[in-house]
């Protein structure tokens, strides 16, 4: 593997609702330029304390199922010690322990090596922060 490192920041507007945003196309577009046919690793990182990166199926209900599971595991109520922001916002700060803020994925011949139904997604339950950054970094 060579020592080529390239990085880019995406600016994503997630809106005022809990969301799972598919970043796969953005990752593929970045790799077309950054990897240029080489093997390596893509790191996807969200530098926010209340969002995460997940690899999952989208479009068949799994993204909604993930949000429903997170609502069950992390209810938006007053049980959280972290209490600033909207009611239940403390749960958003626990989210990265379950959905980590990063993923490192293999790149083979310049292409993201995902399974048939896998997508790279930003998971954001924080309805108070509608603007997110996602850093894509290629090492190859």
Set out the domains of the chain in order of their start, with CATH numbers: 5-139 (2.60.120.460)
The dihedral sign for the CA sequence 16, 79, 92, 60: negative
Q: What is the pLDDT of residue 1?
A: 46
Candidates 110, 99, 121; CA nearest to 44 is 121
In the chain, how long is the greatest CA-to-CA distance? Answer: 50
pLDDT tens-place string over residues 118-140: 999 999 999 989 999 999 999 99
Q: What integer is the mean pLDDT of 27-48?
A: 97
Q: Other C-beta atoms within 10 Å of 100: how many?
A: 14
**DSSP letter (8 states) at residue 110:** T
pLDDT tens-place string over residues 58-113: 989 999 999 999 999 999 998 999 888 888 899 999 999 999 999 999 999 999 99
Q: What is the pLDDT of residue 2?
A: 60
Give CA–CA dist 94/35, Å, rounded. 34
- Give the predicted TM-score (pTM) of the model: 0.94
Q: Other C-beta atoms within 10 Å of 114: how many?
A: 15
């Amino acid at each position: 593997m060579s020592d080529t490192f390239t990085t880019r920041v995406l600016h994503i507007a997630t809106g005022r609702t809990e969301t799972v945003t598919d970043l796969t196309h953005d990752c593929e577009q970045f790799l077309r330029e950054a990897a240029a046919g080489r093997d390596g690793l893509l790191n996807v990182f969200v530098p926010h304390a209340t969002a995460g990166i997940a690899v999952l199926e989208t479009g068949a209900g799994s993204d909604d199922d993930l949000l429903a599971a997170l609502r069950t595991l992390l209810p938006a109520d007053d049980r959280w010690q972290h209490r600033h922001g909207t009611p239940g916002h403390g749960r958003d700060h626990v989210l990265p322990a379950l959905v980590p803020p990063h993923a490192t994925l293999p790149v083979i011949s310049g292409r993201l090596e995902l399974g048939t139904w896998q997508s790279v997604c930003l998971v954001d339950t924080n309805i108070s922060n509608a603007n997110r950054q996602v850093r894509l970094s290629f090492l190859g």
